[in-house]
Structure 1
């Protein structure tokens, strides 16, 4: 009776594992997997756009067509009706004003605060830093009533200023944390060399440190803009009229009492997607480098 050789069995298993590893990591398998992931994540964007140029009858048609006739002869009236007849031009303007103003405030104060925390030491600085981060840990819905009460007392309900203040409060702690860690990753020897050359603290920050931190600043600006652009909860509760409503609230208005206007809702959704798509396509290098440096260093 023959007995198996343990050494031979171990070598055989090792060869099988190596063969499987080579097969899994071959360029054809990797290409197929990545192509499937790209298709999976981009199909909702494609389907939203297709639905935005259909009629209501085309949307409810069964079975649905992946390449409908509207691709060849698109129905752009959905966008024109949405823009001019349903006040979406005002909603878009409100979103742009709120998002841009919030981004400027958050990036300006967050960058300065992050630099201060990275370069200066003062009593209880770690506790102050943790306190700033702790403000962001509160669930947004838990702050809804206090914010509403405060803005009611200040006659700021249904104004863009209220949304800008809320979004600044929500985004500033994250930007302070990211920028503080990003500045920590920049050697402090550069500051000292600039002082020796006669530069002031502000000149050192503006001319030497800040240019090196551009990827982090860009990542923070993009994240803040996208959050302010897509936020729904506070915009829904704090605004009532078209003069202050933003795109997410305007899109919800396509859901009426007895019918859902899917063609207008898809058009509104695609308009809301555009900034995120453009930022990811144009600035993905800055987003990745800024977040990785700001998140793992310091």
Structure 2
């Protein structure tokens, strides 16, 4: 039995089933997005799409042009990319500082930063709403970027601090001996070694900012600031759910996040396999 389970054919079969299991929702979402409403409600459902729209991309065109998903996509990309860039800049610098420098009460400061993230997001909704109302920032992308930065920065500082600690401090000292400044050491020596941690942190921040719904719903009022998750919710109307348009929204929301993960995954693999440090 043990030899049979270790057979390459068994392993291949198990992996194939796992891939089919995890990719089927993606396929079903796409298949539903090109169906008519009659095709959506067909019972039993057809694995191969029937009663398709004519032309087949009609639902996508209508969602993109008539239902404002071009603006929703632009808003989501702007918020997610801006948040990721801001968080990674300050989170990487903060993580490096906590890993290399010692100052009075540094552990308490670090715990305090992490403690700010322990609050449940829904508990911060009203304070943020009132704050942005006073600052006249409601219904703006700046409000979402600010909230997402607050919620993701502690996580990235913690992740990058632990990653920088795993990099020997002897490399810093060797760079100082060679005449490098503190910033040059960080930029040219430490930062390239931290690419896997930076990529992993960037993926987490982007995905959270891309899919976040609660604050995007509460802090935005008009299409000029609404994001894709909120736009998708608009397909759930009072008396009917427009399932094919909802599937279009889900598939459109999936594509940029999937591309982002694929691109950064390559950097993670290359960073982990790019050789070793010899002492």
TM-score by length of 2: 0.92
Corresponding residue for residue 186 of structure 1: 167
Distance change >3 Å, CA 288–CA 259, structure 1 → 2: farther
The 2-side partners of 1:267 and 1:112 are apart by 39
Q: Please say if residues 35 and 53 of structure 2, whose CA atoms lie closer than 8 Å, have aligned partners that are also in contact.
A: no
Corresponding residue for residue 93 of structure 1: 74
CA displacement at 1:53 relative to structure 2: 0.7
TM-score by length of 1: 0.87
Matches within 5 A, 1:27-176: 27-69=8-50, 75-176=56-157
Corresponding residue for residue 277 of structure 2: none
CA displacement at 1:131 relative to structure 2: 1.2
Q: Please say if residues 36 and 52 of structure 2, whose CA atoms lie closer than 8 Å, have aligned partners that are also in contact.
A: no
- Count of aligned pairs between the two proteins: 272
CA displacement at 1:289 relative to structure 2: 8.6
The 1-side partners of 2:27 and 2:225 are apart by 30
Distance change >3 Å, CA 174–CA 289, structure 1 → 2: farther
CA displacement at 1:47 relative to structure 2: 0.2
- For residue 5 of structure 2, the aligned residue among 24, 28, 47 is 24
Alignment of 1:196 with 2:156, yes or no, is no
Matches within 5 A, 1:214-229: 214-229=195-210
Corresponding residue for residue 259 of structure 2: 278
Q: Please say if residues 226 and 275 of structure 1, whose CA atoms lie closer than 8 Å, have aligned partners that are also in contact.
A: no
CA displacement at 1:290 relative to structure 2: 8.1
Distance change >3 Å, CA 170–CA 290, structure 1 → 2: farther
The 2-side partners of 1:287 and 1:137 are apart by 28
The 2-side partners of 1:75 and 1:231 are apart by 30
Q: Please say if residues 117 and 151 of structure 2, whose CA atoms lie closer than 8 Å, have aligned partners that are also in contact.
A: yes
Task: Name the SS for the 2:161 alignment partner.
Answer: helix
Richer in helix (by share): 1
Distance change >3 Å, CA 212–CA 290, structure 1 → 2: closer
The 1-side partners of 2:42 and 2:97 are apart by 59
Q: Which has the larger displacement, 210-219 or 236-245?
A: 210-219
Q: Please say if residues 235 and 249 of structure 1, whose CA atoms lie closer than 8 Å, have aligned partners that are also in contact.
A: yes
Deviations 1:179-209 (A, max 9, x none): 1111111111111111111111111111111
Corresponding residue for residue 15 of structure 1: none
- For residue 235 of structure 1, the aligned residue among 216, 236, 242 is 216
Q: Please say if residues 158 and 244 of structure 1, whose CA atoms lie closer than 8 Å, have aligned partners that are also in contact.
A: yes
Deviations 1:6-28 (A, max 9, x none): xxxxxxxxxxxxxx322323222
Q: Give unmatched runs, 5+ long, in structure 2.
A: 273-279
Distance change >3 Å, CA 105–CA 204, structure 1 → 2: same
The 2-side partners of 1:158 and 1:35 are apart by 46
Q: Give unmatched runs, 5+ long, in structure 1.
A: 1-19, 292-298
